[in-house]
Structure 1
Amino acid sequence: MRFTSSPLPAAPADGIAGWAADLVGTLGGPGAGLAIALENLFPPLPSEVILPLTGFAAGQGVITLVSALFWTTLGSVTGAVVLYGIGALFGRDRIHALWAKLPLVKASDLRRTEAWFAKHGTKAVLLGRMVPIFRSLISVPAGVERMPLPVFVTLTTLGSLIWNAALVMSGYWLGDQWATVGTYVGAVSKAVLALVVVALVSYVALRLRGSSRAARHRRAS
């Protein structure tokens, strides 16, 4: 079964939802997988819209529920592996070289980050798949740190399946009210982004304050 010019009742025919509906309607489950793979590579594409819509499509019989879960999880893993590969290709040496050129940062900061990832990387990759925005970004340091690929793929698959199943099943159960999922998850995404911005601004402010104090100390001595 394919979508027509009006893909699904209560599904917008334009915007991200319309684009995702067209993909699912034209390609079926693989279309949903492609949409989620692209969402991993380009985080502004909202999984909180794509996944519930896919669940709604499954509820309407456009695709099966098993197909929806399989292909969206495969899409998540595929996108994550691409980002992992970018991190691995860029490598630790280039990261250190780039880091050394950045203002307000120290080599010790990067070393501490590496140590943290070495200790908590498995939990970060698994749980990070369920955190908006972070779910895409975590794949890059995993590649940089060369986490064993089978371990990375396994953790990414488990975390993605949990996240995808929650949103797909929400759309499946809510029916034509599927869009309400995006409203709530979108609010969480904005809160996470706000926290990241606040943390970044605080970090820069502390670095500037430390640099100013160091400069005054040098002048006084």
Structure 2
Amino acid sequence: MEDFVQSMMERLGPFGIGLLMFVENVFAPIPSELIMPLAGYLATQGDMNIVWVILAGTVGSLIGTLPWYYLGRRLGHEGVRRLASRHGRWLTMTPSDVDGASERFKRHGKASVLVGRLIPTVRTLISVPAGVANMPIGSFLLFSAVGTLLWTAALALAGFLLGQAYDVIERYVDPISTAVLVILVALYIYRVATYKEDRA
């Protein structure tokens, strides 16, 4: 997996980073925890500038939040609940989960978008209740951008500061990232298999 990510970056440069981060937000086959540190490391090799690395990751990630935001905005609370009711097994989401996410968003509002963008797995899902609540797109993008910038910068700078030490650990990165992907797939299968329908 690491080889694929690296080849995308080397072939497409910052655009490749942005594309990978966009895909990671829409459907997460490759975690940002692999993409951005590797991109930061490549910046130490002179292939890319660290500022462009961070900006590309931030922009790609930010664009990736929009499909989920507009899904929530278009369907509304009841529409998302119906979606969860009909396809909840495959989404591993119940109508009660939708209610809970909406309640948390109502309590914490804009801050939940910023903070949510700093938490793995929540990073993508926070866009849905923001859309459901009809959070103005300008505010959504602003708070998402701040959280996203902090997240991508921290990961990219970690890879950048590791510098040559990354050579020592990169042999472990690919098997670890592959193991993480296998675990995520296994958890998804488990959640589908043990899903309890909730039409409340």
Q: Shared fold (TM-score greater than 0.5)?
A: yes
Match of 2:163 in 1: 175
SS at match of 2:107: helix
The structure with higher relative contact order (CA 8 Å, sep 6+) is 2
Give the 3 Å change call, closer, same or farther, for CA 30–119 of structure 1 in structure 2: same
The partner residue of 2:130 within 135, 142, 156 is 142
Cα distance in 2 for partners of 1:153, 1:38 equals 18
C-alpha deviation, 1:98, in angstroms: 4.7
C-alpha deviation, 1:152, in angstroms: 0.7
Residue 25 (structure 1) aligned with residue 25 (structure 2): no
The partner residue of 1:72 within 57, 70, 86 is 57
Give the 3 Å change call, closer, same or farther, for CA 63–133 of structure 1 in structure 2: same
Match of 1:162 in 2: 150
C-alpha deviation, 1:33, in angstroms: 0.7
Cα distance in 2 for partners of 1:84, 1:108 equals 19
Match of 2:91 in 1: none
* TM-score where L is the length of structure 1: 0.68
In structure 2, the gaps of 5 or more residues are 89-93
Cα distance in 2 for partners of 1:84, 1:75 equals 15
Task: Give aligned-pair identity as a percent.
Answer: 34
Residues 163-217 of structure 1 deviation map (CA, whole Å, 9 limit, x = unaligned): 111110010111244457969x98xx99xx8xx99xx9xxx99xx9xxxxxxxxx
Cα distance in 2 for partners of 1:38, 1:28 equals 16
Match of 2:76 in 1: 91
Which has more radius of gyration? 1
**Cα pair 1:43 1:136 within 8 Å, conserved:** no
Give the 3 Å change call, closer, same or farther, for CA 99–83 of structure 1 in structure 2: closer
Aligned pairs, number:
179
**Cα pair 1:83 1:139 within 8 Å, conserved:** yes
Cα distance in 2 for partners of 1:135, 1:40 equals 8
Cα distance in 2 for partners of 1:74, 1:65 equals 14
The within-5 A match list for 1:110-149 is 113-149=101-137
SS at match of 1:62: coil
Match of 2:40 in 1: 55
Give the 3 Å change call, closer, same or farther, for CA 57–92 of structure 1 in structure 2: same
Residues 135-172 of structure 1 deviation map (CA, whole Å, 9 limit, x = unaligned): 11111121122111111101111001111111100101
Cα distance in 1 for partners of 2:115, 2:82 equals 29
